[in-house]
Amino acid sequence: MALKLLLGLWIAAIIVVGITFPIVPVPQAWYEFPLIPGLENKARIMLFHVPMAWVTVLAFLISMGYGIRYLVKKNIDDDEKSAASAGLGLLFCVLATVTGAIWARFNWGAFWNWDPRQTSIFALLLIYGAYFALRSALDVEEKRAALSAAYAVIAGATVPFFIFVMPRLLPGLHPGSGGSGPLMGGTMNATLRIVFYASLAGFTALYFWMLNLRNRLAKLRTHHESVGG
Amino acid sequence: MKSGSSFAVRWLQATSAIFSKDIKSELRTRYALNALVMFVITTLSIILFALGGEAASSELMCGVLWIIIFFSTMSGMSRSFVSEEERGTVLTLQLMTRPSTVFFGKLFFNFVLLSGTNLLSIVLYLVLITNFVVRTPAIFIVVMLLGTMGLASACTIIAAIIAKANTKGTLYPVLSFPILLPLLLTVINGTLLSVEGAPFTEALEEVQILVSYFVVITAVSYLLFDYVWKD
Amino acid sequence: MTTFVLDGRGLKKQFNRRTIFHDLDLRLASHEALAIVGRNGSGKSTLSKIIAGVLSLSGGEVTLARNGERIREEAQLEHVGFVAPYLQMYGEFSAWEHLVLFRKIRGATASDEELAALLLRVGLLGRKDHEVRVYSSGMKQRLKYACALLHRPHLLILDEPMSNLDHEGVEMVLALMQEQLATGMLVVSTNEERDTQFCGKTIDLNVFSDREGRAR
C-alpha cells in the first residue's frame, strides 16, 4: 500500500519537476536545467520519451523471456505473464511513438522522418500488434502459448539488426545517432541527470507494478474459472 | 532393422523426399505457382499504368521492385505449410519423420519457388522499365541471391506459425513484415547501389548484413520449429 | 528374440484446462494387444496419438524399450504404424507413389516387390496408379494400412480400425491384427467388441468422465 503511494508521488514529482524547472543557459541554482542548444524547452520531453522507449524494450524482453520459459516448462502461467508484459509493452510503445512524433514535429518539422530509431520503434509497434493478432487467431491455449512464444523469439532475433544495423544504413536525426555521440552523457548537469534517472526508475517501477497487478488478476481469473465459473 | 546407412544420410534422404514431394505436388496442382505468376504480372501492370509512360527515378523503381517481390511472396509462400494443415496431412508427416527434415525440406522448396518468382519479376522489370539499368551486375546478383535466401528463411517459419491459426491469409503479412524490415531496407539499399554503378566494395556492408540475417533467422527458426510443428 | 515393451506411468493429458485423463498406467509387451475403449469424446484418439508419439502429454511419459534398452523419442517413429479415420493422404498422388514416397521419407528398406505385395494384400494392386483423389473412402482406408505397414513396425496402433470398410475389408484387418500379434504389439482404439477380440488388456477411459463429459 505504502509502496503504491510512494510510486504515485514519485511519478507526480517527476512530472511536476520536468515541466516546471526552468531551463537556463548557465545553470546556477540547484533547480535549474541546462540549455541544450537546438533543443531548449523541447528537451523536457526527453524525461518522458526515453524512459517510455526503455520500458517498451524491457517489456518485450521480459515477454520473450516468459515465452521461452513456457516452451521449456510448458507451464501455462508463464504464457499468461508473457502476454501481460506484452500488453504493457504495447501501451508504452504507443506512448513512446507518440511522444517521439511530437518531438519530431517540433524539432525536425515533420511528425515522421524514417530516422532509424523512429523506424525501430515503429517496427516494435508492428511486432506487438502482430503478437496480439496471432494470439487472437488461436483458440487452443497450448497452441496459442507455443506459437506466440515462438513469434516473440523470432522477433527478438531481429532486434539486434534494428539496434546495430539500421543506424549504419540510414542517416539519423535522433540526438545521439550518426556519430554525434550520446547526447545524454555530455550536456546534462547534475540536476537534469538526477531527474532523468529518477524518471527512468519511476517508469520502470510503474511497469513492474502494473505487470504485477496484471499477473495477480490473471491468477485470480484462472482460479475462479477452475473452482466455480 | 534399418540398413547400415548413417543418420546423416537418412536425414538428407528424408529432407530431399519432403522437398521433392512438395515440388511434385506443386507441379501437379500449381496452386502457388499460379498465384505467384499472376500476382507478379498484375502488380507490374498496375505499376506501369500508374506511371503512365513517365520515367520515375531509379531510386523509386528499386523500392517498387521490392514491393512487388514482398507482396508476391505474401501471396504464395505460405502454401507449403498451409496446404498440409488444410488437408490434414500434418499428422501423416509427424508419424513418419523428425521435424527438422520437414523444416529444411520446405525451406528449400520455398527458396526454389521464390527464386523462380523473383527471376520472373526481375526479367520483366529489366525488359519493361526502361530506365532501370543495372550498372554493377555483381552487386545486383549477390544482393538478389542473399535477399531471396533471407526472405525464404523468414517466410518459412512464419508460414509454419500462421498455418496453425484461424485467419491465415491476413495474418501472414502482418507477422512477416516487422521481421522482414531489416532485410528489406538492406536489400533495397543494395539494389540502389547496383543501379547507381557503385563498386562492389561499397556494398560489402549490405552483403555482411544479409548473410548474418540469413544465418541468424535460419538458426533461430530451426530451434523453434519443433515447438511450432509438434502438438 | 527381440522383445519390446511399451510402458506408461502416471499419464495425464489436459486441453484448455480440462483434464482428459490422469494417473493412467499402461504396459504392453511383444505379442500382446491393448484395447482402448470409452464413449465418444472420452479421449480414445488422444491416447492413441500419445502412444504413437505425435501428441504431447501434460504429465508422465510413455516409453518404448527394445530388449530392456529404452528407445529415444525421435527413433520411436520407425517402430510405430498408425491408422485412423482422421489420417489423410495426398489426393494428387497415386497409391504406389505414396508407398515409394513414404518409404523414402521413413528410410525404410522395403523393396519394390515387397511394396507391390503389400498393395496386393490390402487389395489395391489393380488401382495402384490412380490418384487417391478418385478413391472411395474404403480404398483410402486400405491405403492407410499399406502405409502403416511398409516399414514393418513392431507397434501397430489402430484407431477405429474398420471405418469405411466393407465385409472383405473387415476380414482383411482381422487377419492383419493376428499377423501383427505374431510378430509385434497391437493397440486398438474402438467401441466395437468385434475389433478388440484379440486384445488381452483393456483401458477404459469412461472412468475419467461422466455421460455429459464432465471430468470425474
ipTM: 0.92
The answer to whether the beta carbons of residues C26 and C34 sit under 8 Å apart is yes
Chain C residues with CB under 8 Å of B3 CB are 107, 109
CB contact under 8 A, A133 and B178: no
Residue A61 parent element (H or E): helix A46-73
Interface chains of chain A (3 or more CB pairs under 8 Å): B, C
Chain A residues with CB under 8 Å of C12 CB are none
Residue A103: the pLDDT is 81
Burial class (CB in 10 A: 0-12, 13-18, 19+), A30: exposed
The chain-wide mean pLDDT, for chain A, equals: 81
Chain B residues with CB under 8 Å of C87 CB are 88, 91-92, 95
Residue A186 lies in a domain: yes
Mean pLDDT (whole number) for C139-159: 96
Is residue B82 within 8 angstroms of chain A, CB to CB? no
pLDDT digits (tens, 9 = 90+) for B95-126: 999 999 999 999 999 999 999 999 999 999 98
How many CB atoms within 10 Å of residue A185?
Answer: 9
Please report which confidence band the pLDDT of residue C208 belongs to, taking 50, 70 and 90 as the band edges.
Answer: confident
CB contact under 8 A, A133 and B171: yes
- DSSP letter at A177? -
pLDDT greater than 50 at residue A183: no
Mean pLDDT (whole number) for A214-228: 83
Is residue B157 within 8 angstroms of chain A, CB to CB? yes
CB contact under 8 A, A165 and B182: yes
Q: Domain containing A212: what range?
A: 45-219
Residue A22 lies in a domain: no
Dihedral sign, CA of A207, A212, A213, A214?
A: positive
pLDDT greater than 80 at residue A180: no
Residue B178 distance to chain A (closest CA, Å): 5
Chain B residues with CB under 8 Å of C48 CB are none
The chain-wide mean pLDDT, for chain C, equals: 92
Chain C residues with CB under 8 Å of B93 CB are 105
The answer to whether the beta carbons of residues A148 and A64 sit under 8 Å apart is no
- C-alpha closest to that of A218 among A151, A145, A160: A145
Chain A residues with CB under 8 Å of B162 CB are 134, 137
Please report which confidence band the pLDDT of residue C162 belongs to, taking 50, 70 and 90 as the band edges.
Answer: very high
- Ranges under pLDDT 50 in chain B: 1
Is residue B177 within 8 angstroms of chain A, CB to CB? yes
Burial class (CB in 10 A: 0-12, 13-18, 19+), A134: buried
Across the interface, of C17, C56, C58, the residue whose CB is closest to A226 is C17
Residue A16 lies in a domain: no
Alpha-carbon distances, residue C39 vs B72, B76, B160, C134, C157 (angstroms): 48, 42, 34, 33, 19
What gap in Å lies between CA C28 and CA C36, rounded to an integer?
12
Alpha-carbon distances, residue C155 vs B43, C29, C81, C82, C182 (angstroms): 53, 10, 6, 9, 12
pLDDT greater than 70 at residue A36: no
Coil/strand/helix, residue C110: coil
Residue A179: the pLDDT is 34
CB contact under 8 A, B101 and C105: yes
Residue bearing cell 543557459: A25
- C-alpha closest to that of B66 among B107, B131, B135, B114: B114
Residues 6+ apart with CB under 8 A from B127: none
pLDDT greater than 90 at residue A18: no
Residues 6+ apart with CB under 8 A from A49: A96, A99, A100, A103
CB contact under 8 A, A142 and C15: yes
pLDDT greater than 70 at residue A25: no
Residue A153 distance to chain C (closest CA, Å): 22
Residue A12: the pLDDT is 82
- C-alpha closest to that of C38 among C200, C159, C169, C177: C159
| pTM (whole model) above 0.80 | yes
Interface chains of chain B (3 or more CB pairs under 8 Å): A, C
Is residue C52 within 8 angstroms of chain B, CB to CB? yes
- Those of residues 120-179 in C touching chain B at CB distance below 8 A are none
Set of cell numbers at residue A92:
508504452
pLDDT greater than 80 at residue A77: yes
Instruction: Find which of A158-172, B49-63, B96-110, C65-79 is predicted with most confidence, using mean pLDDT.
Output: B96-110
pLDDT digits (tens, 9 = 90+) for B53-65: 777 888 888 999 9
What gap in Å lies between CA A62 and CA A67, rounded to an integer?
8
Is residue B221 within 8 angstroms of chain A, CB to CB? yes
Number of domains forming the structure of chain A: 1
Mean pLDDT (whole number) for A127-149: 95
Instruction: Reply yes or no on domain C4-208 having CATH 3.40.50.300.
Output: yes
Higher pLDDT, A39 or C33: C33
Please state the domain extents for chain B. Answer: 7-229
Nearest residue of A to residue B168 by CA position?
Answer: A137
- The partner residues of A34 in beta bridges, in order of sequence, read A24
- The partner residues of C35 in beta bridges, in order of sequence, read C188, C202
Residue B152 distance to chain A (closest CA, Å): 14
Higher pLDDT, A56 or C1: A56
The answer to whether the beta carbons of residues C181 and C35 sit under 8 Å apart is no
Instruction: Find which of A91-105, A165-179, B92-106, B191-205 is predicted with most confidence, using mean pLDDT.
Output: B92-106
